[in-house]
């Protein structure tokens, strides 16, 4: 940025950045604690969330797609899926349209464990959300969606370099 001078972020902008950093850190710590309670690695939780999100859209996920999405090697993905399968969270079955491929699907047991893991968090967040108007919540959601997109763009910059 030669010749361009950037203004320093305002105090409120810095407050938002600190709050996002704190929220991110607390989320990671919560996921670590919840994962330990459920005897799952952090990677297992991420993989399971990706399988769930993909399954909720009606598009099954293959181990290869999961491996690519998580930037894991095939053996690391296989080990993760073995752990999740042993715990009863996923099962692998033949792809519905491609007989050469396998899909990973989340089990009802995983949904129940997830509800238990995140129900506690939801119970603590409920009063925070209830204290805000629908208009405030819409603004917060819009802001967080934009921050999420900015974070994805920053990750893409890293992955392209």
pLDDT digits (tens, 9 = 90+) for 106-136: 999 999 998 999 999 999 999 999 999 999 9
The 10s digit of each residue's pLDDT in 64-89 is: 999 999 999 999 999 999 999 999 99
**What is the rounded CA–CA span in Å between residue 145 and residue 153?**
12
Best CA proximity match to 81, nearest among 96, 57, 95, 64: 64
Q: Where are the beta strands (DSSP E) in the chain?
A: 90-94, 102-106
**Whole-structure pTM value:** 0.77
Which of left, alpha, beta for 88 (phi over 0: left; psi -120 to 50: alpha)? left
Which residues, 6 or more positions from 107, have their beta carbon under 8 angstroms from its beta carbon?
A: 88, 89, 90, 91
């Amino acid at each position: 940025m030669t010749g361009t001078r950037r203004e320093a972020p305002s105090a409120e902008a810095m407050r938002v950045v600190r709050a996002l950093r704190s929220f991110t850190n607390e989320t990671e710590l919560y996921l670590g604690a919840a994962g330990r309670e459920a005897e799952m690695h952090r990677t297992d939780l991420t993989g399971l969330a990706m399988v769930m999100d993909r399954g909720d859209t009606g598009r099954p996920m293959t181990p290869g797609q999961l491996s690519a999405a998580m930037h894991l090697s095939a053996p690391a993905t296989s080990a993760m899926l073995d752990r999740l399968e042993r715990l009863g969270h996923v099962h692998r079955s033949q792809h519905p349209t491609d007989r050469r491929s396998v899909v990973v699907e989340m089990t009802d047991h995983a949904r129940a464990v997830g509800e238990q893991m995140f129900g506690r968090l939801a119970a603590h967040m409920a009063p925070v959300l209830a204290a805000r108007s629908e208009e405030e919540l819409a603004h917060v959601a819009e802001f967080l969606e934009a921050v999420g997109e900015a974070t994805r763009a920053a990750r893409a910059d890293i992955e392209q370099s």
